[in-house]
Structure 1
Amino acid sequence: MPLLELEPNYSLHYELIPGPTHRPCLVFLHEGLGSVSQWRDFPQRLCAAIGCSGLVYDRLGHGKSAPLRSPRTIHFMHEYALCELPRLLAALLPDRPYLLVGHSDGGSIALIHGAARSPGLRGIITEAAHVYVDDLTIAGITAADQAYAAGRLKGLVRHHGANTETMFTAWCRTWLDPAFRFWSIEYLLPAIQAPLLVLQGEDDQYGIPAQVETIAARTGGPATPLLLPGCGHSPHLELPELTLDHMATFITGLAG
């Protein structure tokens, strides 16, 4: 099990997907309750389809990475985007160009990172990213909290082990904190210059379609918005072939 030790008590589990080193590496950022294993084989399939290498990892507190070291704050996505991710890239992909593929919280983290304009960043793909908190998000997370309390999310233990309780509580309590209702990263969007593919399912239970519209309209670079009919919060799991095709076309276009 590869572990990257960034500092004492701060180790990150990661997996590298082999591929040519002269092409950008795809870096996958999982959702708020996600992990490496919850992507299933989608990263490997996407990398194989376009002939690129890949990096999948568990953020601190998730999966097989070290536990959270302190209570999560409303700035947690900024911390992952601007502190943890750059250190991971510097250690594992020094001087390599890369693209970010972020799902849900991972998509928001990708946008925050994109606004910092790293010279190695070639593009960003988001699935169900949030740039502000909407009422549907709160309703969806409230329902997840109730499901967890009723024992209906026990499957998370297979992916997060001893991290499960702390990880879920940190995610849920932060998003449902009344102070977090004012969270927004809309102000960052004009600073993003990297090309964007902005995906979301039309039936996403955690976010309204206006999230896609806002990202595409306000980013500083080219953006392709795409709402997928008959799809919920996880396009890469619910419509894997269609999602893979859209992502591969976008990435190939960048390479061209």
Structure 2
Amino acid sequence: MERVRVSWALGDHEIEYRWLLGEAPRDRLLVFLHEGLGSVSLWRDFPERLCQALGIQGLVFSRWGYGASSPRRPEERWGPDFMHRQALDFLPAFFQALGLEPGRERLWLYGHSDGGSIALIYAAYHPEGLEGLILAAPHVLVEEVTVASIRKAREAYLEGDLRLRLARHHRDPDSAFFGWCDAWLDPAFRTWDIRHLLPRVGVPILAIQGYEDEYGTMLQIEEIARLAPKVELVKLSRCGHSPHRDQPEAVIQAVARFFRAQGG
């Protein structure tokens, strides 16, 4: 695992990251954006498997506050704009710190949950060098089922074993959990909605959703298909909020077919 110091709007942070399939050409790069409680290690082997299927290099990292990256300070609170800040402030600074130049490298983004929302926001404002998006269980608006499930997660963290399980993947599990949980449960977050950005996302989008997703319904990806110009949907049975864990083969096959169809 490698680290890089990223200077951006909210300070200087050490970010853990890992290159995948380093022997592949660097002309295309698949960047993985994790979920609200994710990290490099929580992806397990899925990024490597997907990059091998596509034959391209990958980049996986833990956002500030997650994994082995710099933790969030206990007094810091993430506002309803935290995904916008990650997309518009952090990602460009992170790419610059790694010496990546979108346009020289043709980028694909794989975003899971909050990471999918971050990918959409980034694509709406930074189309240069971007070839496509793969979105798994993304959020474009706040649904009651999402808020209810996050409340249950909070109970499991405070009273159950969720904190112990997250501690295997985060240097500071409180940083990761409460940064995400407190932002989503903030009453001000109820009006969060990025659907107005979707018509601006001109790159092809593959949006994947499970029928048993406890954090969102098919409305999320159906709104993407209704408002963005180039969208293909994949709806998976026997699949919850993490398609790459519940249906990895189906996801890899769908992404590989979509990638080839776009000239990859």
Q: TM-score, normalised by structure 2?
A: 0.93
**Is 2:198 the partner of 1:198?**
no
* CA drift at 1:151: 2.6
- Residues 87-132 of structure 1 show CA distances to partners (whole Å, capped at 9, x for unaligned) of 2223322231110000000000000001013311100000000000
Q: TM-score, normalised by structure 1?
A: 0.96
* CA drift at 1:19: 4.0
Pairs within 5 Å for 1:151-170: 151-153=160-162, 154-161=164-171, 163-170=172-179
Pairs within 5 Å for 1:1-256: 1-7=1-7, 9-17=12-20, 18-68=22-72, 70-92=76-98, 93-94=100-101, 95-153=104-162, 154-161=164-171, 163-219=172-228, 221-255=229-263
* Alpha-carbon distance in 2 for matches of 1:156, 1:51: 31
AA of the residue aligned to 1:237: R
- Residues 223-246 of structure 1 show CA distances to partners (whole Å, capped at 9, x for unaligned) of 001111111000100111111111
* Alpha-carbon distance in 1 for matches of 2:140, 2:127: 20
Gaps of 5+ in 2: none
SS class of match (1:74): coil
- Residues 8-50 of structure 1 show CA distances to partners (whole Å, capped at 9, x for unaligned) of 6411100001143353100000000000111100100111111
CA contact (8 A) 1:216 1:224 kept: yes
CA contact (8 A) 1:117 1:192 kept: no
* Alpha-carbon distance in 2 for matches of 1:100, 1:130: 15
* CA drift at 1:79: 0.5
SS class of match (2:169): helix
- Residues 173-228 of structure 1 show CA distances to partners (whole Å, capped at 9, x for unaligned) of 11011111000101100110010000010110000111110011101x31001111
CA contact (8 A) 2:5 2:97 kept: no
* Alpha-carbon distance in 1 for matches of 2:249, 2:152: 29
Larger mean Cα displacement after TM superposition, 25-34 or 80-89: 80-89
SS class of match (1:101): strand
* Alpha-carbon distance in 1 for matches of 2:128, 2:68: 30
* Alpha-carbon distance in 2 for matches of 1:51, 1:122: 15
* Alpha-carbon distance in 1 for matches of 2:23, 2:204: 22
* CA drift at 1:152: 2.0
Q: How many residues align?
A: 254
CA contact (8 A) 1:201 1:232 kept: yes
* Alpha-carbon distance in 2 for matches of 1:123, 1:90: 20
Q: In 2 relative to 1, CA 9–33 (structure 1 residues): closer, same or farther, beyond 3 Å?
A: same
SS class of match (1:160): coil
SS class of match (2:212): coil
CA contact (8 A) 2:134 2:205 kept: yes
